[in-house]
Structure 1
Amino acid sequence: MNSIKHRISVILFDYGGVLADEGFRNGLATIARRHGLQPETLLNQATDAIYQSGYVLGAGSEKAFWKLLKERSGIEGDISDLRNEILQRFRLRPWMLDVVDELRNDGYRTGILSDQTDWLDELEARDHFFHHFDVIFNSYHLGMGKRDPEVFRRVAKELGAPPEQILFIDDAPGNIERAQSQGLKTILFVNRERFEQALKHKLSAAAP
C-alpha cells in the first residue's frame, strides 16, 4: 500500500532553463550589456517587474511590464526589439523532449509547470511542442505563480494526484524548495548528465 501511495505518476517540467534554453535570463543579459548594466541586476529587476506589473499572472499587460522595467533600470528601446532578444533565445532542447516522450510511453503523465506570460503561447505557435505533454500549467492562465507555494497544491488538485506522486523538475532552487514544502518530489536541473542520473534514481526509488 505504501509503495503505491508514494509511486510517481506525474512528471512536471519547467519550461525556460529545463525544456528550453533560458531565454529570459540570456536575453536580459544581452540587453544589460548593451546598456552597460550588470546582467544579474537587470534580471532581478525584470523578475520583480514581471510580477509587480501582473503580466506573469495574466493580470497586467506586456506594455506595463516593459514600462515598469524601463523606469527602474533605465534601459531604452522599442518593445518589439527588446522582447525579441528574449524570445529568440528560448530554444527547445530536443534531447529533453525525447525524455518526455519516453516517459509518456512508459505510462507517466507529463506536463509543463511554468511561470510564463502569453509568450509561452507564442513559443508554442512557433515551435509546436505542447503535444508532447498531457497538461500545460502556465502562470499567465493559472493566475498563480511558483512564488506562491499554494500553486503546487492547486496543480496537484487539478491533476487529481497526491503531491507525493508528482515529480517536479525546475532550475530555480527557490521553486524546488517551495514544491518540496508542499509534498512534491523534485529534481533541481543543473545539467543534462546530473538530471538524467537524478531522474533514473527518483523513478527507480519510487517504483512499486
Structure 2
Amino acid sequence: MTIPVTRTAAPFDAVLTDLDDVIRLFDATEVSRLERAAGLPVGSTAKSAFGPGRGEPLVLGQLTKDAWVASTASGLADRVPAARARELATAFTRAPFRTDPEVVELLRAAREHCPVWIVTNGTPWLDEDLATLDLDGLAEGIVNSARVGVAKPDPGILLHAAERAGAAPERCLFIDDRLANVEAAAALGMTTVHFRTAADLRTALAPLLAGPVPPTRP
C-alpha cells in the first residue's frame, strides 16, 4: 500500500526583493513640470542623475546628497541656465515617494513563511528616507549597495544577500524590475521575478503563501 505523504517544504527559503519601483514608488510630477517649463524632455533630470560618473558612484556610497545634486545640475547646465539646472536637480533628489500597499501586504505575508530581505542599489542616506515609510514587519533587513560597496547586477551583492538570509542561492526567490539584475540572479540559480506589477509578485509568491501542498495520490 502506498502511504500519501504531505509535502510541507517551502518552494524557497528566502525572498530577496528590490526596493525602488517595486516597494517604493517615486512621484515625478513636479520634476516633469519643471522639465517641461525649461523646454527639456521629461526624464532629462533622471538621465543626468544616473548618468556616467554619477549613478555608479552614488550607489557605491561615494557621493553625498549635496555632491549628487551639484553633479546632476552640471549635467544639465549645457541646456538650461545654471540656476534652473540646480532647481531641477534639487527637485529630483527631493521627489516624494510612497510604498505600493499591495506589494507591502504580499511581502509581509511572505515573511510569515520565510525571511524577506531588501536588496537595493541605494544611497548613503537610504535609512533616513525609509524612516518616513511604514515598513515595520516587512523585511528582516536591508542590503544596501552604498553600505556594502557592491551594486547589482554584480553577483557579489546577491550572494551577500543570500548569506544574510541564511539561504543557498538556488533556494532564493529574487524580485527586481531591472532585467540585468534578474538575469544575474538567475545565473546564480535563483528563482526570479522580472517585476512589472504587483500581480507578478502575487503569482510568484502563490506557492509559498498557499501553505502545505496536498498529499500526492497513489
Structure 1, gaps ≥5 residues long = none
Q: Answer yes or no: is the 8 Å Cα contact 1:170–1:176 preserved in 2.
A: yes
What is the rounded CA distance, in whole Å, between the counterparts of 1:139 and 1:30 in structure 2? 31
When Rg is computed on C-alpha atoms for both structures, the one with the higher figure is 2
Residue identity in the other structure for 1:63: D
**Deviations 1:119-158 (CA, angstroms, capped at 9, x unpaired):** 4212222113154211211112121111423221222233
Rate the CA distance shift 1:30–1:170 in 2: closer, same or farther, 3 A: farther
Q: How many residues align?
A: 198
Rate the CA distance shift 1:34–1:196 in 2: closer, same or farther, 3 A: farther
Structure 2, gaps ≥5 residues long = 1-6, 78-84, 214-218
TM-score, with structure 2 as normaliser: 0.76
What is the rounded CA distance, in whole Å, between the counterparts of 1:108 and 1:27 in structure 2? 39
Which structure shows the bigger proportion of residues in helix conformation?
1
Give 2:75's match in structure 1, choosing from 72, 76, 99: 72
1:43 Cα deviation after fit: 2.6
Greater Cα offset, 107-116 or 147-156: 147-156
Matched, 1:123 2:122: no
1:162 Cα deviation after fit: 1.0
Residue 127 of structure 1: SS of its match in structure 2?
A: coil
Residue 50 of structure 2: SS of its match in structure 1?
A: helix
**Deviations 1:45-70 (CA, angstroms, capped at 9, x unpaired):** 32235434x23222221222122211
Matched, 1:63 2:66: yes
What is the rounded CA distance, in whole Å, between the counterparts of 2:71 and 2:64 in structure 1? 11
Partner residue in 2 for 1:9: 13
Residue 8 of structure 1: SS of its match in structure 2?
A: coil
Rate the CA distance shift 1:177–1:41 in 2: closer, same or farther, 3 A: farther
What is the rounded CA distance, in whole Å, between the counterparts of 1:123 and 1:147 in structure 2? 23
Residue identity in the other structure for 2:139: F
1:35 Cα deviation after fit: 2.9
Q: What is the percent sequence identity of the aligned residues?
A: 24
